Structure 1
Amino acid sequence: MAIRRTTRARDAGDGLEQPRPRASSIDDAVTALLSLWLISGLMLDAWAHANKPGLETFFTPWHAVFYSGFAATAAWVLRLVFRHRSDGRAGLAAIPIGYGPTLVALAVFALSGLADMVWHTVFGIEDSIDILFSPSHLGLAISMFVIVTTPVRAAWSDPAPATLRRLWPALLGTGLAVAEVMVFLEYGNAMLMRATWIVTSFSEGGDDGSASRLAVRMVVTNATLLLPLLFLARRWGLPPGAALLTTTPLLILSGAETGGRNLSTLLSVLVAALGVELFARALRPTAERRRAYWLFAGLAPFFTWSLYLGVAASAVGRLPTVVELWTGAPIVAAAVGWLLGVLMLPAAPAATPR
């Protein structure tokens, strides 16, 4: 049984310790929805950089959506803190559990946004892979990750039952974090690939390196999709909808970045998420059910990437010509998934004999 710890902060006025407040489920829901606004602006910006070459200014409509989403999220979090201050709390005791790192991230985001405007003014607008390594963009990325995962931290120590009604803000926050991470790992996103490129890459046998690039993309995307589910399953189990909520934001992002030209690939991952939902219901992977957890960690990626390759082959009308690649890739994905499961939930230590 989980042990509930109460976080306390010292009130500088009377020297007494006050318990940190816990955000309500409605508070966390608003935080998650405002984070959705923020990440939607990021998706629009990613779409613009991928589909509108020759951008010459920082002041764009998608930046307006992005930074207004940040302003709304910051205003909401500050409102929560001041609401608790008006109840007589002071200092750290006014910050809801899980929201402390968010306040720091909001400040880092604001500074990174100013730095980004200056950077673009001095060095211009990036239009290739360099956009993913800009220092100001990395500052935005790290702070955004902390902001959108606020509902996860808020729910982590909550003893309430792990139902979808209670956890959907944390699940949505996790999905937004996955999408945000993959914005900056775009060069490793296998969901951006069209069916023709997938089949062609696994038909070349590595002569031009395309097979290696696809294999690496599959490994990176596999880990990015699976690790959040393993993380959630270890703490709460996986309530219905967990796989869909954590995968859908990345599906939308991947469609936006390609202008929808990879619909068959996106469809394969969506159907795979539905299958992963069924596996989660059947296996019930939790920290207490270690073997089921490990089996889920291997089975989910095997199904996902088998479907990924199968749908691509169906869309093109033929299988890749290198049999070893399309038969072995799902097995590699399953092995990597199982390894991640073991690392996330190692075997119980053997009892020490008396």
Structure 2
Amino acid sequence: MGIRPRATLTDDAVTALVSLWLIGGLMLDAWAHSNRPGLESFFTPWHAVFYSGFLATAGWVAWVLWKQWRTGRRGLAAIPLGYGPTVLALAAFALSGVADMFWHTIFGIEESIDILFSPSHLGLAITMCVIVTTPVRSAWRDPSPGTLRRLWPALLGTGLAIAEVMVFLEYGNALLMRATWIVTGLSSTENNSASMLAVRMLVTNAALLLPLLFVARRWGLPPGAATICTVPLLVLSGAETGARNMSTLLSILVAAIGTDLLAQALRPTAERRWAFWTFATVAPFFTWSLYLGVASAAVGNLPTIPELWTGAPIVAAAVGLLLGALMLPGGIGTEGADPGRKDAGVSTPDSGPGVASTTG
């Protein structure tokens, strides 16, 4: 079967950029469904951008495989490490796209929350997540240091995955809220407005924090990692609302930059578990304090229920600590080494430094 090759940094970079085309088309489609009511056709300009992004991605991955084929590799040996699931996902995406066309032909175009639960759309969602995280899986096999130069395709792929997941968790996206809605939501316990906003904040908190903890645990967080991972979700959230929530988006952008500064100060890694746990706690507290503070400043007054606006960032921080503890429950040592890290102590054919695998 042969030893599987590693993709080059250029391969991963182009994969991330064509994935940006794919997710950009998804964002356009999300904008259309949110701002153009009465869609009645599968054949729309934004669908054209979306599916042309898929064709570009599929064509590029085929070229990556063809380059390996030309060197004499055959079968699985021609598929770079990390690209195996991508090949399967591309085929499944195509089938889901055909199914989506027939679904719309039979059942019409969804115009409400049902669009997020359509089986054909969920098929597209799952396969897209596998496709855009290709650079992450590829970088996982690379023993070189986790610098920004090496990791930016993986970070961009992570950010695109966050945005894509939040398309289908739109009902849990706190970044869609305008400042007035945030302040009003935490000013009343009637109509479940406070509960709904609290749930949105916790869902978005997990979506933003977990990928950063994943990257920190594996490589550490290079400068700009949080901002790169956050910007795609900001673009998506602005598109879905027609940019009517600019103060909210600005607060999260500033929070991402602050999170990057926090990461450089703490240097959270698998070997520095107290720094890891501190980062997992402080980052969400800072993010959601800023979220509420900017909303209050934009409206001109604080929410009227102090328990809600003072306690919400604390809850987010507590959840962050829980996620950090679950992801890194103990220290990294000889007996408790993390098998995913390049310095775990014992190399295996799939994860050891400098050793290629026939799987993945």
TM-score (norm 1): 0.93
1:6 alignment partner in structure 2: none
Q: How does 1:201-220 map to 2 (within 5 A)?
A: 201-204=185-188, 206-220=189-203
- The 3 A distance-change label for structure 1 pair 289 and 349 is closer
Asked if structure 1 preserves the Cα contact closer than 8 Å seen for 2:270 and 2:331, the reply is no
> For 1:348 and 1:34, how far apart are their aligned partners in 2?
38
1:266 alignment partner in structure 2: 249
1:161 alignment partner in structure 2: 145
- Secondary structure in 2 matching 1:209: helix
> For 1:144 and 1:351, how far apart are their aligned partners in 2?
37
How many residues end up aligned between the 2 structures? 335
2:356 alignment partner in structure 1: none
> For 2:197 and 2:116, how far apart are their aligned partners in 1?
19
- Which residue identity is paired with 1:237? G
1:5 alignment partner in structure 2: none
CA RMSD of superposed structures (Å): 1.2
- Which residue identity is paired with 1:254? S
- Secondary structure in 1 matching 2:191: coil
**Alpha-carbon distance, 1:82 to partner:** 1.6
1:14 alignment partner in structure 2: none
**Alpha-carbon distance, 1:208 to partner:** 1.3
> For 1:81 and 1:274, how far apart are their aligned partners in 2?
37
**Alpha-carbon distance, 1:86 to partner:** 1.4
CA distances 1:249-269 after superposition (whole Å, capped 9, x unpaired) = 000000000000000000000
- Which residue identity is paired with 1:195? A
- Which residue identity is paired with 1:285? P
Q: How does 1:2-17 map to 2 (within 5 A)?
A: 10=1
Task: For structure 2, list consecutive stretches of 5 or more residues without a partner in the other structure.
Answer: 336-360
CA distances 1:134-182 after superposition (whole Å, capped 9, x unpaired) = 0000000000000000000000010112111111000000000000000
1:91 alignment partner in structure 2: 75
**Alpha-carbon distance, 1:19 to partner:** 1.4
Is the counterpart of residue 247 in structure 1 residue 227 in structure 2?
A: no
CA distances 1:203-237 after superposition (whole Å, capped 9, x unpaired) = 01x11110000000000000000000000000000
> For 1:40 and 1:217, how far apart are their aligned partners in 2?
23
2:38 alignment partner in structure 1: 54
2:95 alignment partner in structure 1: 111
1:148 alignment partner in structure 2: 132
Q: How does 1:116-131 map to 2 (within 5 A)?
A: 116-131=100-115
- Which residue identity is paired with 2:310? T
**Alpha-carbon distance, 1:33 to partner:** 0.1
- Which residue identity is paired with 1:273? A
> For 2:63 and 2:136, how far apart are their aligned partners in 1?
19
Equivalent position to 2:277, from 294, 313, 316? 294
- The 3 A distance-change label for structure 1 pair 349 and 143 is closer
> For 2:13 and 2:334, how far apart are their aligned partners in 1?
43
> For 1:279 and 1:78, how far apart are their aligned partners in 2?
40
1:178 alignment partner in structure 2: 162
> For 2:30 and 2:218, how far apart are their aligned partners in 1?
32
> For 2:274 and 2:44, how far apart are their aligned partners in 1?
51
**Alpha-carbon distance, 1:351 to partner:** 10
Asked if structure 1 preserves the Cα contact closer than 8 Å seen for 2:270 and 2:332, the reply is no
> For 1:169 and 1:200, how far apart are their aligned partners in 2?
39
> For 1:161 and 1:207, how far apart are their aligned partners in 2?
52
CA distances 1:104-129 after superposition (whole Å, capped 9, x unpaired) = 00000000000000000110000000
- Secondary structure in 2 matching 1:89: coil
> For 1:45 and 1:350, how far apart are their aligned partners in 2?
47
1:32 alignment partner in structure 2: 16
- Secondary structure in 2 matching 1:208: helix
**Alpha-carbon distance, 1:333 to partner:** 0.2
- Which residue identity is paired with 2:70? S
- Which residue identity is paired with 2:267? R
Is the counterpart of residue 65 in structure 1 residue 65 in structure 2?
A: no
TM-score (norm 2): 0.92
- The runs of at least 4 aligned residues of structure 1 exceeding 3 Å deviation read 348-352
Identity %: 76
**Alpha-carbon distance, 1:283 to partner:** 0.2
> For 1:276 and 1:193, how far apart are their aligned partners in 2?
21
Q: How does 1:278-293 map to 2 (within 5 A)?
A: 278-293=261-276
- The 3 A distance-change label for structure 1 pair 124 and 235 is same
- Secondary structure in 2 matching 1:125: coil
> For 2:301 and 2:269, how far apart are their aligned partners in 1?
40
**Alpha-carbon distance, 1:348 to partner:** 3.7
> For 1:239 and 1:210, how far apart are their aligned partners in 2?
38
- Which residue identity is paired with 1:299? V
- Which residue identity is paired with 1:120? H
Select the structure with the greater relative contact order (CA < 8 A; seq sep ≥ 6).
Answer: 2
